[in-house]
Amino acid sequence: MMKRILVTGGAGFIGSHLCARLLNEGNDVICLDNYFTGNKENIISLIGNPHFEMVRHDVIHPYYVEVDQIYNLACPASPVHYQYNPIKTIKTSVMGAINMLGLAKRVNAKILQASTSEIYGDPFVHPQPESYWGNVNTIGIRSCYDEGKRCAETLFMDYHRQNNVKIKIIRIFNTYGPNMHPSDGRVVSNFIVQALKSENITIYGEGTQTRSFQYIDDLIEGMIRVMNTDDSFIGPINIGNPNEFTIMQLAERVLALTGSKSKIVKLDLPSDDPQQRKPDITLARNLLGWEPKVQLDKGLGKTINYFKTKVL
Ligand SMILES: NC(=O)c1ccc[n+]([C@@H]2O[C@H](COP(=O)([O-])OP(=O)(O)OC[C@H]3O[C@@H](n4cnc5c(N)ncnc54)[C@H](O)[C@@H]3O)[C@@H](O)[C@H]2O)c1
């Protein structure tokens, strides 16, 4: 049955893929965005579809619309963007959550929060299961994002307990793919852009820190499956790829796949940069029968092809 679905942050990297997939599945989609890091280019192929609507709006202000489901993604996700105006970032997470939860309560919509592995901070437990409470600095330069997202999870739980709002919380781990912002400073897009421009590939520290990367299509599949779980399931649930690589290995794969002659150079490690991050996805495997399918080389290939159209 066709549902009316609101996607906040719908013109961003993840939101644009989600809007496309929800439309493909025969839904009516409202994409709400203030275009801070999002871009109309990301959703240009959807414009003209009578089941797609764009709304320029900032989630720190209330927004009223009749919908069945809300995916709350509005929030800059990369450190360069969320540190540009940290007060605005925390307002977006916290006031955005309050406004969207208020809307969900009013119209009895189901609402999914795009939370993050950053809520685990610099973890002492590895890999991170949903039951781990995290190790997060409240006063560092990443705190506006990490603590904003943690507070949003709290708000989701309290709206659920106090007002019976139907919620789902997913904790997204590092995701990459087409429509990432070319200058967002995240490691995958950085390396690809540097390789394509034949610039030095910059690694922070020794490159021994590990990350796990999930391709966007795997995330979108997981998100939609979580939204469609029984109302009794609220999460939080990790959605990520547990395959670990060091940052050095990632740089080497990007060099190999682009055929670039760029050199790898090492820079100082920024403060609060977690050394290890890897999801425990047992819950997603058992509950959703979900696990990532796209291998790193395949996902990188598609992402490189996208960036070729942007930077060359
Ligand atoms: N990309 C990842 O690896 C990752 C990992 C964990 C969590 N997430 C979460 O997923 C969501 C989407 O991330 P993304 O990677 O697509 O980032 P993105 O920056 O590409 O998308 C965020 C979107 O939100 C919009 N936005 C920001 N502030 C807004 C506001 N006040 N009002 C309305 N719109 C606003 C931006 O313009 C943008 O379109 C974010 O909530 C992020 O925290 C992403």
- Look up 64 and say whether it is catalytic: no
- Report CA(78)–ligand 1 centroid distance (Å): 8
Q: Is 9 in the pocket of ligand 1 (CB under 6 A)?
A: yes
- pLDDT at res. 210: 84
Give me 211's structure tokens.
């990350």
Q: Quickly list DSSP for 72-96.
A: E--S--SHHHHTTSHHHHHHHHHHH
pLDDT, one tens digit per residue, over 127-181 is 999 999 999 999 999 999 999 999 999 999 999 999 999 999 999 999 999 999 9
Note the pLDDT of residue 307: 96
* Predicted local distance difference test score (pLDDT) of residue 222: 98
The predicted pLDDT at position 274 comes to 66
Q: What percent of the chain has pLDDT over 90?
A: 89
Q: Report the nearest atom of ligand 1 relative to the CA of 16.
A: 16
Q: Is the pLDDT of residue 99 over 90?
A: yes
Cα gap 112→115, rounded to integer Å: 9
Catalytic option among 145, 159, 176, 215: 145
16 Cβ closer than 6 Å to some ligand 1 atom: no
pLDDT in tens, 189-199: 999 999 999 99
For residue 45, give both structure tokens.
């192929």
Q: Is 128 helix (H, G, I), strand (E, B) or coil?
A: strand
Whole-number Å distance, alpha carbon 76 to ligand 1 midpoint, is: 4
Instruction: Give exposure, 98-109, as e/b (b: 16+ Cβ within 10 Å).
Output: bbbbbbbbeeeb
pLDDT band at 211 (very low <50, low <70, confident <90, very high): confident
Burial track 202-240 (b if 16+ CB lie within 10 A, e otherwise): ebeeebebbbbbbbbbbbbbbbbbbbeeeeeebbbbbbb
pLDDT level of residue 212 (50, 70, 90 thresholds): confident
The phi and psi torsions of 64 (rounded to 5 degrees) equal -115, 130
Helix/strand/coil (H/E/C) assignment for every residue in 262-300: CCEEEECCCCCCCCCCCECCHHHHHHHCCCCCCCHHHHH
Average model confidence (pLDDT) across the chain = 95
Q: What are the pLDDT digits (tens) for 4-59?
A: 999 999 999 999 999 999 999 999 999 999 999 999 999 999 999 999 999 999 99
Go through the domains of the chain in sequence order and give each one's CATH number: 4-177+214-241+279-293 (3.40.50.720), 187-208+244-277+298-306 (3.90.25.10)
Ligand 1 pocket: which of 60, 72, 75 to mutate (most atoms within 8 A of CB): 75
Cα(208)–Cα(133) distance, rounded to whole angstroms?
25
Residue appearing with tokens 């058992």: 286
Instruction: Give the separation between CA 312 and CA 309, rounded to whole angstroms.
Output: 6
Q: Which amino acid is at 257?
A: L
- Give distance in angstroms: CA of 310 to centre of ligand 1: 20
